[in-house]
Copies of this chain bind each other. A is one copy, B any other.
Amino acid sequence: MPRTADPDVRRRLVERAAQMLAAREPVTLRSLVEGTGASTMAVYTHFGGMPGLWRAVRQEGFTRLHTRLAAVPRTADPVHDVAALGVAYAANALASPALYRAMFDAVAELEDPAGADRGLAVLVGAVARAREEGRLAADADPIGVATRSWLAGHGLLSLVVQGVLPADVVPGHSVETTVALLTAAGDDPAACRASVARAWRAGVPDPGTDGPRGAGGPGL
């Protein structure tokens, strides 16, 4: 094989795209490579085109999300841990809203679809542990409960990220929905609320440097 491909170029371009996304700058083929020294053809050799670049960016977003979820510590209270994953999910989305939007803009197209499932798997594991430790009913469905939590969280955050809802409603709705879902799965209502509320009190997501904008900016 000739001229070994420089793997750094690929990473740098994805990184730069994510930065431009966070900076609300329009991510175009030419503006992306500008300043990197690379030419527009680099995007085609490494990604096959702009859709390929977006695919890579989305993948990067899901990788970061998984990293963040996997870093949530396991405590003695499994229900608290389930809620803590919700906090981490929200924090990740609010830290870079534009990336979150891009992730789900064409989420069906990913380089590694299984990579996106890994985040959900973390949540499923936490719910399963709650059941195993007796907090949920023996016939509770961890995948179903985790999926519904994820769906509700996504619905909430996708609207917050677009500026339809303010960020400060996230904890409230999240607590209520999580409590409702886990109580329906068998947890004691009072104990559940205490566990969930504690998780959200501990780590309210920081809006970050990249707050939601009022309208569709020039970027994606």
Extra contacts besides A108-B164, A152-B177 (17): CB < 8 Å? A106-B162, A106-B215, A107-B159, A108-B163, A109-B216, A148-B176, A148-B177, A150-B155, A151-B177, A153-B155, A154-B158, A158-B158, A176-B184, A179-B184, A180-B180, A180-B184, A184-B184
- Chain B residues with CB below 8 A from A106, complex form: 162, 215-216
Q: Which residue of B lies closest to A180 (CB)?
A: B184
Q: Complex formed: what's the CA distance from A120 to B103 in Å?
A: 27
Interface flag for A156 (CB, 8 Å): yes
A interface residues (Cβ-Cβ under 8 A, vs B): 51, 104, 106-109, 144, 147-148, 150-156, 158-159, 162-164, 172-173, 176-177, 179-181, 183-184, 189, 214-216
**Are the CB atoms of A107 and B155 closer together than 8 Å?**
no
Interface SS of chain A: helix
Residue in A144, A156, A163, A180 with the greatest tally of chain B CB atoms within 10 Å: A180
Q: Complex formed: what's the CA distance from A150 to B152 in Å?
A: 9
Q: Complex formed: what's the CA distance from A216 to B181 in Å?
A: 32
How distant is A210 from chain B, measured CB to nearest CB, in Å?
A: 16
Residue in A152, A158, A159, A216 with the greatest tally of chain B CB atoms within 10 Å: A152
Residue A158 contacts which of B153, B155, B177, B214 (CB distance < 8 angstroms)? Answer: B155
How distant is A34 from chain B, measured CB to nearest CB, in Å?
A: 25
Residue A154 contacts which of B107, B109, B159, B214 (CB distance < 8 angstroms)? Answer: B159
- Chain B residues with CB below 8 A from A159, complex form: 104, 107, 151, 154
Q: Which residue of B lies closest to A113 (CB)?
A: B164
**Are the CB atoms of B147 and A173 closer together than 8 Å?**
yes
How distant is A105 from chain B, measured CB to nearest CB, in Å?
A: 8
How distant is A216 from chain B, measured CB to nearest CB, in Å?
A: 4
